[in-house]
A and B are shown apart, each in its own frame.
Chain A
Amino acid sequence: MKDGGTQQAEKTGRRTGLILLLLGTALTAAGLLQGQYASVLAKAIRICMECVGIG
């Protein structure tokens, strides 16, 4: 069993997590609408010279 304060903190944490999950979904959707998927794809299908320690 948990005391009232811990229970409340647990509920608040869970609620915040849910709100952040929705926020993340909304941001992802906004990015998709702006065509940012294509920008990520364009970068990901070419060898990133900095990443592999060349550029």
Chain B
Amino acid sequence: MGIQAAAALLQNANFKGFFTGRISEIAAKGVCVPGLNCYSCPGAVGACPLGSLQSFLGARPFRLPYYVVGLLVFFGALLGRAVCGFLCPMGWIQELIALVPVRKRNRFRLDQPLRKLKYLVLAATLILPVFIARTPFFCKYICPSGTTAALFLAAADSQIRGLFGSLFNLKFGILAGLVILSLFIFRPFCKYLCPLGALYGCFNRVALYRGSVTESACVHCGRCAEICRMGVDPVKNINSAECIRCGDCVGSCPAKAIRFGFTAGKEPRIIVKEADMNNVQ
């Protein structure tokens, strides 16, 4: 939680903006942050990767968005969904809501089918702006980060409040629904709707920051699967597209068989010391 809070604050370090309702215009805003953080948030000091991507896809004349795609591939290949677990402000907000002591249900019948929804949202996010110019589908109709940004802007600027209409009401309904769901389900937005999570999930199997289970040490007690709030069974598939690398399973393992990191899964190199060599001789 500490890393998530620090990441959210760092990505929204234009604190003055929250009071003035003016968004930052610094040069860093040309660089996409790894997580979902609306660039219209008065605190934002970086660009939203999904907003930037859709802006390129919807622009005419059409240009291939090398820069944004490159950054997304870079973040994905380096960290995979560790971005969701540690660097995304939306994930952090949902975890804060989840602290409210209400009984959570993370396993229910519709859970697995609903997980596929985020891939549909990802497809729509990538395809629709290409055909319907200047329509960032995800930002316009779904993105709760944009709605949160709108609330911050409206709090500081009454003119913005006056412009809210049916589109805002739709988006506010989605945000409110997610807030309520977050009380009962861990990270519902990340599980069911986030296209960025869907995208980074595709990298989990190959990302350099990865998980590993030492099979010889595992006692198959099932505690790791039981504790995982994302519904992953680490023993079966530690690099599942659903794993956000939170590390809950690491602490739960009595055999210390689970590891996450850049060197996880690498076979240890055997270093034979000179003294040992003498013993052999």
Which residues of chain A have a CB within 8 Å of any CB of chain B?
1-3, 6-7, 10, 13-14, 16-18, 20-21, 23-32, 34, 36-41, 43-48, 50-55
Q: Which 7 A-B pairs have the closest CB atoms?
A: A31-B67, A27-B70, A24-B74, A41-B30, A28-B70, A24-B73, A53-B168
> Are B206 and A16 within 8 A (Cβ)?
yes
Taking CB atoms, residues of chain B closer than 8 Å to A3 are 215
> Are A17 and B56 within 8 A (Cβ)?
no
User: Residue B27 at the A interface, CB < 8 A?
Assistant: yes
A–B pairs, 12, beta carbons within 8 Å: A2-B267, A10-B266, A21-B77, A23-B70, A25-B70, A44-B30, A44-B44, A47-B40, A48-B39, A50-B140, A52-B146, A54-B168
Docked Cα-Cα span, A20 to B68, in Å, equals 14
Which of B44, B63, B74 has the most chain A CB atoms closer than 10 A to its own CB? B74
Given contacts A34-B63, A40-B31, 4 further A-B pairs with CB under 8 A are A24-B70, A27-B66, A41-B27, A46-B23
User: Residue B208 at the A interface, CB < 8 A?
Assistant: yes
Docked Cα-Cα span, A32 to B37, in Å, equals 22
Docked Cα-Cα span, A25 to B74, in Å, equals 6
Docked Cα-Cα span, A46 to B70, in Å, equals 23
Docked Cα-Cα span, A21 to B77, in Å, equals 5
> Are A44 and B267 within 8 A (Cβ)?
no
In angstroms, how far is the closest chain B Cβ from the Cβ of A52?
4
> Are B29 and A44 within 8 A (Cβ)?
yes
Docked Cα-Cα span, A50 to B173, in Å, equals 16
- Segment 61-84 of B: residues with Cβ below 8 Å from A: 63, 65-78
User: Residue B153 at the A interface, CB < 8 A?
Assistant: yes
Specify the main secondary structure of chain A where it touches its partner: helix
User: Residue B281 at the A interface, CB < 8 A?
Assistant: no
Taking CB atoms, residues of chain A closer than 8 Å to B71 are 24, 28
Cβ 8 A contact of A21, one of B150, B171, B208, B212 = B208
User: Residue B164 at the A interface, CB < 8 A?
Assistant: yes
> Are B77 and A45 within 8 A (Cβ)?
no
Which of A26, A34, A38, A48 has the most chain B CB atoms closer than 10 A to its own CB? A48
Cβ 8 A contact of B239, one of A13, A34, A55 = A13
Cβ 8 A contact of A51, one of B29, B140, B170 = B140
Which B residue sits closest to A31, measured CB to CB? B67
Which of B67, B146, B150 has the most chain A CB atoms closer than 10 A to its own CB? B67
> Are A34 and B73 within 8 A (Cβ)?
no
